[in-house]
């Protein structure tokens, strides 16, 4: 039976199509998208991604960057769209975007160089020659709030927007535990040792396919000595005197807000 409230995740390039309504922006329903876009465009754009949204099937479309939008629609990058979307919708959009982008850039088997085709399950791709399955990559990274009493250690990368400081983060290396990664990354980036690691939570980060694993740690010893290849500044900030913080959707922001609540 057709689900009349099924939602549509439609991308124009890397941007998400949103419905403009009197109440603001939201994901369009499948019915709305089918009424607004030409049928043949939808057939070309339809992609088979198994993202579900609170147990509803989501219909996924991907158009070229120059696809014209019908009246009443706009499209935003995911970081901007975050402000318009419910958490579940944003998570589904991130998952779909991650899989679509991986498929777009993963076209040949890494073992035998034959073309890949859609596999029967798990959003995987299968080699058309040797049958090897290829799964969407997920790259675990730790992200760590280091605290010393009412102070927090934040750093900034040259890639950040002006004035923004954030918690320290880095990718897990082969053979490394998450805890070992925390100790190594913190020491490499800012030259301090930490203790008493506490797991905070995790967050999929679809830019392009990270899984951020958040920790809180206490400063143990050492003064800040930055790795200038990685970051351009790092400082201790008092909870009452914080710099510009990272995007509200980020686990970094959640870590910092949690710290402020705990010491406030
Ligand atoms: Zn192959």
* Percent of all residues in the chain with a pLDDT value above 70, rounded to a whole number: 97
* Structural domain includes residue 1: no
Q: Are residues 144 and 241 in the same domain?
A: yes
Residue 242: Cβ-neighbour burial (10 angstroms; 0-12, 13-18, 19+): middle
Domain count, the chain: 3
Residues 146 and 220 in one domain: yes
Q: Indicate if 160 and 234 belong to the same structural domain.
A: yes
**Tokens coding 78:** 């995911």
User: Which residue, 7, 38, 108, is CA-closest to 16?
Assistant: 7
Domain that includes residue 215, residue range: 139-263
Query: What pLDDT does residue 197 have?
Result: 98
- Give residue 55's Cα distance to chain centre: 21
Q: Does residue 201 share a domain with residue 90?
A: no
Q: How far apart are the CA of 124 and the centre of ligand 1, in A?
A: 14
Q: Which pair of tokens denotes residue 250? A: 């980020």
Q: What tokens does 124 get?
A: 């995987």
Ligand 1 centroid–CA 128 distance in Å is 7
Q: Based on the domain organization, do 171 and 98 belong to the same domain?
A: no
Q: How far is the CA of 99 from the centre of ligand 1 (A)?
A: 20
Note whether 52 and 89 are within 8 A (CB): no
CA-closest candidate to residue 233, choices 143, 145, 153 = 153
3-state helix, strand, coil in the chain (%, to 5): 25, 35, 40
Q: Residue 3 domain-assigned?
A: no
Shared domain check, 166 and 221: yes
The answer to whether residue 2 is domain-embedded is: no
In the predicted model, is pLDDT for residue 40 greater than 90?
no
The CA 126 to ligand 1 mean position distance, Å, reads 8
**Rounded mean pLDDT, 177-206:** 97
- pLDDT grade for 1, boundaries at 50, 70 and 90: low
Q: Does 125 share its domain with 196?
A: no
The per-residue pLDDT of the chain, averaged, comes to 92
Over residues 75-86, mean pLDDT: 88
Q: Of 105, 127, 154, which closes a domain?
A: 105
Q: Residue 151 and residue 167: Cα distance in Å, rounded?
A: 12
Q: Is 25 contained in some domain?
A: yes
Q: How confident is the model at residue 86 (pLDDT cuts 50, 70, 90)?
A: confident
44 CA from centroid of ligand 1 (Å)? 27
pLDDT of residue 2: 65
pLDDT at 6: 85
Same-domain status, 87 and 124: no
Residue 246: inside a domain: yes
Residues 247, 169, single domain; the answer is yes
The verdict on residue 124 lying in a domain is: yes
Q: How many angstroms separate the alpha carbon of residue 171 from the centre of ligand 1?
A: 28
Residue 132 lies in a domain: yes
Residue 148 lies in a domain: yes
Q: Which residue has the higher pLDDT, 56 or 73?
A: 73
Question: Contact, 217 vs 198, CB < 8 A?
Answer: yes
Is residue 261 exposed (0-12), middle (13-18) or buried (19+ Cβ within 10 Å)? exposed
- Do 255 and 148 belong together in one domain? yes
Same domain membership, residue 147 and residue 250: yes
For 41-65, how does the pLDDT look when each residue is reduced to its tens digit (9 = 90+)? 888 888 877 776 666 678 899 998 8
Residues in the 5 Å CB sphere of ion ligand 1? 109, 111-112, 114, 127, 129-130, 132
Interface predicted TM-score (ipTM) of this complex, two decimals: 0.99
């Amino acid at each position: 039976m057709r689900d009349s409230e099924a939602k549509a995740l439609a991308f124009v390039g890397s941007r998400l199509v949103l419905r403009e309504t009197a109440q603001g922006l939201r994901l369009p329903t499948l019915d709305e998208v089918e009424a607004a876009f030409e049928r043949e465009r939808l057939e070309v754009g339809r992609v088979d991604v198994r993202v579900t949204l609170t147990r509803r099937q989501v219909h996924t479309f991907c158009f070229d960057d120059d696809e014209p939008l019908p009246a009443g629609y706009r499209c935003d990058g995911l970081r901007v769209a975050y402000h318009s979307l419910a958490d579940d919708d944003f998570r589904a959009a991130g998952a779909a975007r991650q899989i679509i982008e991986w498929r777009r850039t993963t076209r040949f088997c890494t073992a035998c160089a034959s073309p890949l085709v859609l596999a029967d399950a798990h959003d995987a791709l299968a080699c058309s020659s040797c049958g090897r399955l290829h799964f969407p990559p997920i790259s675990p990274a730790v992200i760590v709030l280091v605290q010393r009493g009412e102070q927090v250690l934040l750093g900034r990368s040259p890639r950040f927007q002006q004035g923004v400081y954030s918690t320290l983060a880095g990718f897990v290396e082969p053979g490394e535990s998450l805890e070992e990664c925390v100790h190594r990354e913190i020491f490499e980036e800012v030259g301090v040792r930490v203790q008493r690691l506490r797991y905070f939570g995790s967050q999929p980060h679809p830019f392009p396919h990270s899984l951020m694993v958040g920790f809180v740690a206490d400063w143990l010893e050492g003064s800040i000595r930055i790795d200038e290849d990685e970051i351009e500044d790092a400082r201790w900030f008092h909870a009452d005197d914080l710099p510009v913080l990272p995007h509200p959707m980020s686990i970094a922001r959640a870590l910092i807000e949690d710290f402020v609540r705990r010491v406030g």
